[in-house]
Structure 1
């Protein structure tokens, strides 16, 4: 994949709204939006038919329910993404099950991991592990040893054997120093040719652009292993853990832009009073990825480009052309997707708390602080195990008020 596509993520800053700069916006809430609205959004990429119908991608991915990665085709809702990430927290209940909580316009919502997976239409069952490390040994160090997400992970030897890794060079130069790779550190170029296309597709819609693309991260190698071994993988677990990780990292991109559009639609269906016109949708502009790094920026800066090129093989030969009709691919990718009404009716009821929303004249800082504190206290009573979440949130909120009163 051309490294020039990394620029597609930074282009998202052209449409991320500066909520904190809206006249009359609460200075208290602005403190939570500012760190988020200065980041980039990892939108994900639309995959055309020519791409996912080649090299066994469609069949192998569908066997483990990873077809969700090449069937995703959604616009982006920047304001909803900001609202979501400004206060999202991942917690566990008394039985060890993950819960994801967030607030949309003072409406507090908690979803179980199962509900979250249903809404995003991603697999929930299977092997579950999360790490940002490169070395395959980190999988064993990161897995949960008990509870509902404990799984028996493959060994590094199993992963290397299933992926048919062929070591090309043990010596690497990293930061001007010669480094000898361990057997558990896999390079992307050590994958066989067809599997590199699998890796590209997963990285685009699960991990995002940027970083060390020549390294095959431990979790990505594990996903490839599950595809080859036809073992189910808990993608919902990975998504939630990565959301938690990105939220805590002040420089990380905000992941899963297209997938969060499905959450947006679900929330607006169940909370129609929240659909007050502030959530503008950014339409996609389909464009090829196999471009030179000197390509010119889009004339329409309000639209983002994210599509996976079907010309991966041509790119490897140095070509920057693209084949296929975008309109045809778009229709085909939506053909197997149920209507929104049918899909929403198939979901189980949500566990959520409803609150009366005050009028604009009532939304002063004291009331917002009181309501936020009430929600924090309720969450602490509802979940015994908090993972570094709402306590720091409450302290930050009180600190802002102390400074304001001075």
Structure 2
């Protein structure tokens, strides 16, 4: 993906409404919006058909219902995203099932994880774990050991073996100091060329932009494992945990812009009195995720040559 596309997210500032500055808004309401409206929105990327038709992406992703990641193609509803993130809460019910609640205008809305997954059209069953860490060992530390989301996870050895990772370097230089990588710290360059393309698609629509893109996050390695092993993965669980994390992190981008358009449609159909004209719908500013063309030697002109 061209480096310039990593700056797309800053373009969302052009359409994020300054709700806190609306004349007559109460200071209390304004305080809910101020921390949110100064952030960027990570819309996610529409995925070009040639991209997901290549390298077995369509077949393998469909097997575990990850085809939702390349079938998303929605406009953006900035004010609804701000309404959602300004008050969203994640809790558990008496049976330890996750519940996501938020306020839209004066309507308090509560959804179970299954309902949330159904509305967003993402899988809500399967392996469930959330961590922001790089080290594969963090998966075991982060998993729930009892309750409905208790998951038997693959070991770091299982993940490395199934992904056929090849260690390309042991030492790295960080801030002029040599740092040794442990076997559970994976670099994206250690993935096969095909798998790098899978990694890019998942990162763009599940994780977002920014961060150390040369690192393979533990959760992303786990998702790739599930793709190869054809193990169902609870994407709704990851979404809700990441939403909770973004809500609590003052500088985090607001994720899942296109997916939240599906939630907006559901809310407006269920509570039609909320559709009062304040929700402007805008076009995306992030460019599609597409295969990249490279310049070819003169003798190869006329032949398709795609790299990722």
Q: TM-score under structure 2 normalisation?
A: 0.95
Structure 2 distance, partners of 1:308, 1:316, is: 22
Q: Where do residues 299-314 of structure 1 align in structure 2 (5 Å cutoff)?
A: 304-311=285-292, 314=294
Q: Secondary structure at the match of 2:35?
A: helix
Question: 1:136 — aligned with what?
Answer: 136
Question: 1:191 — aligned with what?
Answer: 191
Deviations 1:258-299 (A, max 9, x none): 000000000000000000101000123xxxxxxxxxxxxxxx
Q: Where do residues 84-95 of structure 1 align in structure 2 (5 Å cutoff)?
A: 84-95=84-95
> Offset at 1:176?
2.0
> Offset at 1:177?
1.3
Question: 1:260 — aligned with what?
Answer: 260
Matched, 1:234 2:234: yes
Q: Where do residues 212-251 of structure 1 align in structure 2 (5 Å cutoff)?
A: 212-251=212-251
Q: Secondary structure at the match of 2:182?
A: coil
Structure 2 distance, partners of 1:175, 1:19, is: 41
Deviations 1:50-81 (A, max 9, x none): 00000000000000000000000000000000
Structure 2 distance, partners of 1:3, 1:202, is: 17
Extract unaligned runs of 5+ from structure 1: 285-303, 318-322, 324-406
Structure 1 distance, partners of 2:45, 2:294, is: 19
Q: Where do residues 35-184 of structure 1 align in structure 2 (5 Å cutoff)?
A: 35-184=35-184
Structure 1 distance, partners of 2:156, 2:286, is: 37
Give yes or no for contact 2:102–2:110 (8 Å, CA) kept in 1.
yes
Matched, 1:283 2:283: yes
Structure 1 distance, partners of 2:145, 2:294, is: 45
> Offset at 1:5?
1.5
Deviations 1:369-390 (A, max 9, x none): xxxxxxxxxxxxxxxxxxxxxx
Q: How many residues were matched structurally?
A: 298
Question: 1:388 — aligned with what?
Answer: none
Give yes or no for contact 1:19–1:37 (8 Å, CA) kept in 2.
yes
> Offset at 1:314?
3.4
Give yes or no for contact 2:172–2:178 (8 Å, CA) kept in 1.
yes
Extract unaligned runs of 5+ from structure 2: 298-303
Question: 1:18 — aligned with what?
Answer: 18
Give yes or no for contact 2:120–2:259 (8 Å, CA) kept in 1.
yes
> Offset at 1:219?
0.1
Structure 1 distance, partners of 2:295, 2:36, is: 35
Larger Rg: 1
Deviations 1:159-216 (A, max 9, x none): 0001000000101011221100000000000000000000000000000011100000
Give yes or no for contact 1:44–1:306 (8 Å, CA) kept in 2.
no
Structure 2 distance, partners of 1:226, 1:237, is: 15
Give yes or no for contact 2:44–2:286 (8 Å, CA) kept in 1.
no
Q: Secondary structure at the match of 2:101?
A: strand
> Offset at 1:306?
3.0
CA RMSD of aligned residues (A): 1.4
Structure 1 distance, partners of 2:290, 2:63, is: 23
Structure 2 distance, partners of 1:91, 1:282, is: 31
Give yes or no for contact 2:5–2:286 (8 Å, CA) kept in 1.
no
Give yes or no for contact 1:140–1:153 (8 Å, CA) kept in 2.
yes
| Pair 269,203 (structure 1): closer, same or farther in 2 beyond 3 Å | same
Q: TM-score under structure 1 normalisation?
A: 0.72
Structure 2 distance, partners of 1:64, 1:216, is: 21
Deviations 1:283-338 (A, max 9, x none): 23xxxxxxxxxxxxxxxxxxx13311132x63999xxxxx9xxxxxxxxxxxxxxx
Give yes or no for contact 1:127–1:233 (8 Å, CA) kept in 2.
yes
Structure 1 distance, partners of 2:8, 2:200, is: 15
Structure 1 distance, partners of 2:232, 2:48, is: 24
Q: Secondary structure at the match of 1:111?
A: strand
